[in-house]
Structure 1
Amino acid sequence: MIIVTGGAGFIGSNLVKELNRRGRTDIVVVDNLTHGQKALNLTDCIIADYHDKEDFRDLIEADAHLGPVEAVFHMGACSATTEWDGRYIMRNNFAYTRELFHWCQDRRIPFIYASSAAVYGGNDTFREEPAHERPLNAYGYSKLAFDQYLRRHMDSLTAQVVGLRYFNVYGPREGYKGGMASVIHHFSNQLREGNTVRLFEGCDGYADGEQRRDFVDVRDCVNLKLWLLEHPEVNGIYNCGTGRARTFNDMARATIDWFGRGEIEYIPFPDHLKGRYQSYTQADLSQLRAAGCDLEFHDIEDGVRAYLDAVAADQAD
């Protein structure tokens, strides 16, 4: 069986759906459905079992036998970059990951977990090296803390362990995330309600809407995870992005092109994000390519079109 924590979430549910498409239904989903809207991400998926996050943690701490486990994909976490309760975020993001890591190592089970490009903070070099890791928020630090923990154990691994530093992921099944959803989600909602897409004014030396991010299609994130499962010799921490920085204006225009209408409006940059905002990200893929991964990543024009086509098909159903 395959265990997917955060399996009702954005990337997790897309992974479950792709596993189904590849013929796998022996999937155990672990999640927290206090906000039950996430459950809708699994209505078109087939799973073998479900555990609440805390119940699953109890099973892990009790050293329970869960049957033959082929791999654990760990994405369950607090993903809010605006969360400043450090005790809460470290327990959910660092301690939980550490517990699962050791549980998998004790059983020689591959463990592929979600890190984040938030570990890089305001740097302009996005390479998987400590010199470039300076998070701007507690979320980013919680992800960096486990990456550092893994580095201390790399020489004694019993099974595959890979951390993927996701850049700005977008795609279907993210609607439940509210303010943390991708800009495409927000842009498309704005155009359904009116004729204007709203972007932040310039900051950090960038002109209006010209801040740049590495926007990556969730399909590429899922394909990379499954490529790693097929290559158990690959271990370590790797960036998961396209390697191409694009502007928020580019994303807005791609969304406007799909709708066939719309204008861009620039709004004041929020005070609470000043000094805590990544105005530029671009994944360095050299280590991923050196590990043998030759997967191609969608550009935003293809990705946005596929995303909005999928949303429109769901709404038509």
Structure 2
Amino acid sequence: MIIVTGGAGFIGSNLVLGLNTRGYDDILVVDHLSNGIKYRNLVDCKIADYLDRSTFLERLQQGAFQAETIEAIFHQGACSSTTEWDGRYMMDNNYEYSKTLFHYCQSHKIPFIYASSAATYGADLTFKEELAYEGPLNVYGYSKFQFDQYLRRQQNLTAQVVGLRYFNVYGPREAHKGSMASVAFHLNNQIKDSDELRLFEGCDGYGNGEQRRDFVYVGDVVAINLWFLDNPQASGIYNCGTGRSQTFNDVANAVIKFHQRGHIKYIPFPEHLKGCYQSFTEANLDKLRAAGCKHSFQTVEQGVQLYMEWLNG
């Protein structure tokens, strides 16, 4: 059995499908369906069982699972809202929960592959998996940063542990995220509504729509997770991005190209985001490549085309 926490979410449900594509369906999905819309992400997935996140943790701590039957835990579940400032909730949900799963996996020698985040880097522009370049700008980023720090302190690991620092992931099955869905998702909705694609005006020295992010297609994220499943000798914290930043204008123009219509309108940069916004991200892939992963990532133009076909098909 493979366990996928956050399995009804964006990356988690795509990961379940990736496992299904390999012919694997002995999967336990763990999630929190207070947002019931997420059920749609599981309709075409083949799974063995579903548990609420609280019930799962209770049963895990009670020893209800046969640990020897668990092949791996993909821990994708978290509160990923960068605008959530309830630090007590964030640390309990993202940090303490992760520690419990980590220690269970170490006790039973189970590979543990978890979602970290590029939000751990904050305003630093190096994006290298080292403490010197890390400094989150919000409590979400801090919750991920602190678990990475906790992992770094662990000695004599008994099983694989991998933290993947996701950059700006976009693609199918993210509609439930609302305002936290990718810019590609929102621009597709905007062009269908009014032919007007809204991007922020310039900030931090960047021109209108020229802020740059490492936009990574969710299919590539799944491929990296599965690569580590296939390579249990690799442990550590790794960036999961393309290694190539592109502008928000690039995303908008890819959406326009697909629809063959539309124009960009630049809107004032929000006051509440000033000082806690990453205007540039670009994954350093040296460590991932040194581990032996040679996966080739989609460009924005390639990934957005695939995504638009899925959204509008």
Smaller-chain TM-score range? over 0.9
Contact 1:60–1:99 under 8 Å retained in 2: no
Aligned to 1:164, what secondary structure does the other structure show?
Answer: strand
Deviations 1:119-144 (A, max 9, x none): 00011110000000000000000000
| Percent of aligned pairs sharing the same letter | 62
User: Is residue 2:302 matched to residue 1:302?
Assistant: yes
Provide the C-alpha distance between the structure 2 equivalents of 1:75 and 1:180, rounded to a whole number of angstroms.
16
Describe how 1:223-242 pairs up with structure 2 within 5 A: 223-242=223-242
Provide the C-alpha distance between the structure 2 equivalents of 1:312 and 1:210, rounded to a whole number of angstroms.
26
Aligned to 1:208, what secondary structure does the other structure show?
Answer: coil
Q: Offset of 1:21 from its aligned partner?
A: 1.1
- Which residue number corresponds to residue 106 of structure 2? 105
- Which residue number corresponds to residue 116 of structure 1? 117
Provide the C-alpha distance between the structure 1 equivalents of 2:282 and 2:59, rounded to a whole number of angstroms.
39
- Which residue number corresponds to residue 61 of structure 2? 61
Amino acid at match of 1:2: I
Q: In the comparison of the two structures, how many residue pairs are matched?
A: 312
Q: Offset of 1:59 from its aligned partner?
A: 1.1
Consecutive aligned runs of 4 or more in structure 1 exceeding 4 Å deviation: none
Amino acid at match of 1:121: G
Provide the C-alpha distance between the structure 2 equivalents of 1:12 and 1:86, rounded to a whole number of angstroms.
24
TM-score by length of 1: 0.97
7-16 or 63-72, larger mean C-alpha shift: 63-72
Aligned to 1:297, what secondary structure does the other structure show?
Answer: coil
Aligned to 1:219, what secondary structure does the other structure show?
Answer: helix
- Which residue number corresponds to residue 10 of structure 1? 10
User: Is residue 2:200 matched to residue 1:191?
Assistant: no
Deviations 1:271-297 (A, max 9, x none): 100000000000000000011111110
Amino acid at match of 1:179: S
Provide the C-alpha distance between the structure 2 equivalents of 1:172 and 1:65, rounded to a whole number of angstroms.
32
Q: Offset of 1:309 from its aligned partner?
A: 0.7
Q: Offset of 1:227 from its aligned partner?
A: 0.5
Contact 1:2–1:27 under 8 Å retained in 2: yes
Q: Over the residues paired in the alignment, what is the CA RMSD in angstroms?
A: 0.7
Amino acid at match of 1:88: Y
Amino acid at match of 2:35: H
**Residues 34, 66 of structure 1: alpha-carbon distance in 2 compared, 3 angstrom cutoff:** farther
TM-score by length of 2: 0.99
Unaligned runs of 5+ in 1: none
- Which residue number corresponds to residue 249 of structure 1? 249
Amino acid at match of 1:224: I
- Which residue number corresponds to residue 132 of structure 2? 131
Provide the C-alpha distance between the structure 1 equivalents of 2:217 and 2:65, rounded to a whole number of angstroms.
36
User: Is residue 2:177 matched to residue 1:177?
Assistant: yes
Amino acid at match of 1:252: A
Amino acid at match of 2:304: V
Q: Offset of 1:63 from its aligned partner?
A: 2.7
Amino acid at match of 2:8: A
- Which residue number corresponds to residue 271 of structure 1? 271
Describe how 1:44-83 pairs up with structure 2 within 5 A: 44-66=44-66, 68-83=69-84
Aligned to 2:150, what secondary structure does the other structure show?
Answer: helix
Describe how 1:204-215 pairs up with structure 2 within 5 A: 204-215=204-215
Aligned to 1:114, what secondary structure does the other structure show?
Answer: strand
Amino acid at match of 1:165: R
Provide the C-alpha distance between the structure 2 equivalents of 1:25 and 1:124, rounded to a whole number of angstroms.
40
- Which residue number corresponds to residue 283 of structure 1? 283
Amino acid at match of 2:153: R
Provide the C-alpha distance between the structure 2 equivalents of 1:56 and 1:65, rounded to a whole number of angstroms.
10
